[in-house]
Structure 1
Amino acid sequence: MQSDLGKLFIGGISWDTNEERLKEYFSVYGEVLEAVIMKDRSTGRARGFGFVVFADPVVAERVIKEKHNIDGRMVEAKKAVPRDDQNTLSRSSSSIQGSPGPGRQERYLLEV
């Protein structure tokens, strides 16, 4: 299993950008192991975000600090948060918005 340490979430990707272009853009920073653009399951259309995995986590840290313009769009690079951690984060912040309704936890477990 590859480490998620070098994995970045890339948001605001242009509809015209493909995975090859994403990989090509970020490979100037360091070795890109994987570049994926997420697509809608039913339509197959790009959803405007994806993930890039760098071989070296230090490179990923450097990429986060810079601004990126790909195919005329400013894209956002953030550290990718594994889905398990995301659920923990949203639950811990839910005390501000009120407690989650009954059955909410089970839905998360089924999605994973």
Structure 2
Amino acid sequence: MTSSRSVFSDFGHVLDSLVMRDRDTGDSRGFGFVSFSNAQEADAAIRALNGTQLDGHKITVKVANAR
């Protein structure tokens, strides 16, 4: 399994990364969050990684919306 932090760190300084997990099983819920030190790094990661494969799964990379 590839570390999401290592994949995203190619585009800048990753402040935090979190894969959301099911509280009962511990399995991935299929989404997560990555925080960069600035918007330019985040934009570069979005442009480069959106629609690519990560551990055999096509990923969508976009800016998170506030709840």
Cα deviations across residues 52-85 of structure 1 (Å, max 9, x unaligned)?
Answer: 10111111112222333212222110101121xx
Residue in structure 1 matching 2:53, options 69, 79, 95 = 69
Identity of aligned residues (%): 38
Unaligned segments of structure 1, at least 5 residues = 1-15, 84-112
CA RMSD of aligned residues (A): 1.5
TM-score in terms of structure 2 length: 0.82
User: More helix per residue: 1 or 2?
Assistant: 1
Q: Distance in 2 between matches of 1:56 and 1:69?
A: 24
Unaligned segments of structure 2, at least 5 residues = none
Q: How many residues align?
A: 65
TM-score in terms of structure 1 length: 0.52
Runs in 1 of length 4+ with deviation above 4 angstroms? none
Higher relative contact order (Cα pairs below 8 Å, separated by 6+ residues): 1
Counterpart check, 1:52 vs 2:52:
no
Amino acid of the structure 2 residue aligned with 1:73: H
